[in-house]
Amino acid sequence: MVELGTILSFIQAGGIIVGVAYYIMNIQMARRKLKIDNTILYGNLITNKETVLQWRHVLYEQKYSSFDEWDQKYRKDPEAYSNYNATQGLLGMLGMCLSEGLVDVNLLCRRGLTLLTLAVYPKLKPIIMGYRALYNDPNYGFYSEYLYNEVVRRYPEARMPPERAKVILNIDA
């Protein structure tokens, strides 16, 4: 016959297993909620008026073909410099959240992230590379670059039209 202590031990072990499963389930639900909240936050941020104006300034009003040219023209201009920092910072935060699985990039791309990333990152790349070299910091702009590479990988058919590339990047596309 089975002793009462043995039965109680099995019941206690079962309770521990149920408790651990419940804890793991709660962690997964909290992470999912965080991902949804972050996706909504960044989705609203990439489409708000202030952000769009900052990106527009960087894309169309800042004219340069190298880091040195940008540095001479725009680093001393508080508005131009802050628009660059805000734009590069937002791309970096999105890239960081994407790398950690904290945003749903597919939903954000439906809100316009693909278009903005494909247009903005190539424009910022000379500045990012210039800062990397200037400060000998290979990690500067890492998450912006990561975001760009992920968007290109996930949406290979998306591209910047050549006529826009000429205007935005000051090149012959």
The answer as to whether 116 is a domain residue is yes
Query: Percent of the chain beyond pLDDT 70?
Result: 96
The answer as to whether 73 is a domain residue is yes
More confident of the two residues 79 and 13: 79
The predicted structure's pLDDT at residue 172? 47
Q: What is the mean pLDDT of residues 57-65?
A: 92
The answer as to whether 83 is a domain residue is yes
Going by pLDDT thresholds of 50, 70 and 90, the confidence category of residue 1 is low
Q: What is the mean pLDDT of residues 19-36?
A: 85
The answer as to whether 74 is a domain residue is yes
The answer as to whether 82 is a domain residue is yes
pTM: 0.79
Of 1-10, 59-68, 137-146, highest mean pLDDT: 137-146
Residue in 157, 43, 135, 21 with CA at minimum distance from that of residue 90: 43
> Given a cut of 70, is residue 173 above it in pLDDT?
no
Dump pLDDT digits (tens) for 77-87.
999 999 999 99
Q: Per the structure, how many domains does the chain have?
A: 1
The answer as to whether 18 is a domain residue is no
Phi first, then psi: give them for residue 70, nearest 5 degrees: -60, -45
Q: What is the mean pLDDT of residues 18-30?
A: 84
Residue whose token pair is 């210039």: 130
Is residue 43 within 8 Å of 108, Cβ to Cβ? Answer: yes
The answer as to whether 91 is a domain residue is yes
Task: Return the structure tokens found at 6.
Answer: 């043995």
The answer as to whether 119 is a domain residue is yes
The predicted structure's pLDDT at residue 98? 94
Could you tell me the residue range of the domain that residue 123 belongs to? 35-169
Q: How far apart are CA 119 and CA 160, in angstroms?
A: 6
Dump pLDDT digits (tens) for 103-151.
998 888 888 888 889 989 999 999 999 999 999 999 999 999 999 999 9
H helical segments located in the chain: 4-47, 49-56, 67-74, 78-99, 105-110, 113-135, 142-154, 162-169
